[in-house]
Amino acid sequence: MVEHVIARSLDEALDCLNQHEYTILSGGTDHMVQKRSWAGTKPLFTKPVLFLHQVKELYGIKVDSNVMEIGAMTSMTCIEEHPQTPTILKECIRQIASPGIRNAATLAGNIANASPAADAVCVLIALHAKVVISSANHTYETFVEQVITGPRKTILKQNEMITAIHIPLLVPTFHAFYKVGGRMADAISKISLAGFIYIHNGKIAEFRLCFGAVGPKVIRNVEQDFAMLGKDIEYLAMEMDSYIDSYIEAISPIDDQRSTKEYRQMVAKNLIKKFILSFVEATNG
C-alpha cells in the first residue's frame, strides 16, 4: 500500500506522480468536503494523497513583462491582497466563501475541480489566463478553458499537475463580475458572469463574456464575442438585444437542482444587459 505523501519539493511531488496514482490536495476546500465521512473518522480517499502544502516553489506571485505568474499553492487571500492582481479577480475572490476558506483555497484547485459553478474559473477565462501544467518529463501551457472538458473532468493526466497560473495584465476599459446566489459567504453560484471589454481607438478590441453555472462547464461563447470586435460603442448599444438573444441561444442554460432553465435564461439575459448598459453608461458618463 502506497502511503500518503507530504511532498517537500516540486521534484519530489512530480516524481511521486510519475510512479503511482495519487489524489493531489492543495487547499483541500473542495476535496476534504467531497471525501468527508463521519466525525472522528478519516476522509474516504480511495487513492493515496499527495499533499502540496509544504512545496515552497509553488507559493508566491511574480510579475514579468505584463504577465502575472501565480504559484499553484498561493491562497486566494494572498492573490486578493496583491497590489497588481486584476481588479476583476479581486472582486471575484471577495465574493468567494469566507476568510477561512480563502486562506486555504487556491486557483489551481478551483480549476482542477472543474465545477461548472467555479467562480474564479469564470474570471480567469475572461482574463485569458493560462495554466502551466508539469510532469516529471515536460511542462506546457494552455488556456484555462482548454483544461476543463466537462463537469469534474479535465485534460490533466495522472502524472501531471498544475504548477502555476499566468494572467496577462491588460487593463480592461470596463469589467464586471456578477454572482447570483443565496447566502454570500457559502453560496454556490446559481449563475455568474465575468465580462471584460477593451476599447482601442474607439473600437472594441476585446470583448469577452464568460458564464458560470449555466451548463455542464464554465462557458464562453467565442463566436459571439468575436462578432463584437472592431465595432464601436454605439453599435453595441444598438445591437444589444439581438446580441443577447443569439448569445443565450448559443449557451443554452440547463435545469438542475439549484435552478431551472427558464430562470437561468432570464437571469443570463439580464446580466448581459446590465453589463452592456453599465459599460455604455460608464463610457458616456
Partner 1 sequence: MNEIRFWLNGKEVHHPYEPTKRLLDVLRDHYSLTGAKEGCGEGECGACSVLIDSLIYPACITPLAHVSNAQVYTIEGIKTLPSYAIIEEAFIEEGAVQCGICTPGMVMATLALLKKTPHPTLEQIKDGISGNLCRCTGYNMIVKAVLRASLKGESPW
Ligand X SMILES: Cc1cc2nc3c(=O)[nH]c(=O)nc-3n(C[C@H](O)[C@H](O)[C@H](O)COP(=O)(O)OP(=O)(O)OC[C@H]3O[C@@H](n4cnc5c(N)ncnc54)[C@H](O)[C@@H]3O)c2cc1C
Query: Which residues contact partner 1 by CB under 8 A?
Result: 4, 6, 25, 28-29, 32-33, 36, 39-43, 45, 49, 51, 53-54, 77, 94, 97-101, 103-104, 184-186
Q: Give CA–CA dist 266/257, Å, rounded.
A: 17
With residue 175 as reference, give the H or E element that holds it. strand 174-180
Residue with smallest beta-carbon separation from ligand X: 109
For residue 39, what is its C-alpha cell?
A: 466525525
> Minimal distance in Å, beta carbon 86 to ligand X?
17
> Minimal distance in Å, beta carbon 144 to ligand X?
13
| Between 11 and 223, CB nearer to partner 1 | 11
Residue from 128, 113, 143 nearest 209 by CA:
128
Q: Give CA–CA dist 169/63, Å, rounded.
A: 9
| Between 28 and 195, CB nearer to ligand X | 28
Q: Give CA–CA dist 112/135, Å, rounded.
A: 15
| Between 36 and 62, CB nearer to partner 1 | 36
Q: Which of 6, 63, 101, 205 is in the footprint of ligand X by CB under 6 A?
A: 101
For residue 130, what is its C-alpha cell?
A: 493560462
| Between 186 and 245, CB nearer to ligand X | 186
The SS3 call for residue 57 is helix
Neighbours of 77 (CB within 10 A): 16
Contacts to ligand X by CB under 6 A: 23-31, 33, 72, 96-97, 101, 104-106, 108-110, 112-113, 118-120, 156, 161-162, 186
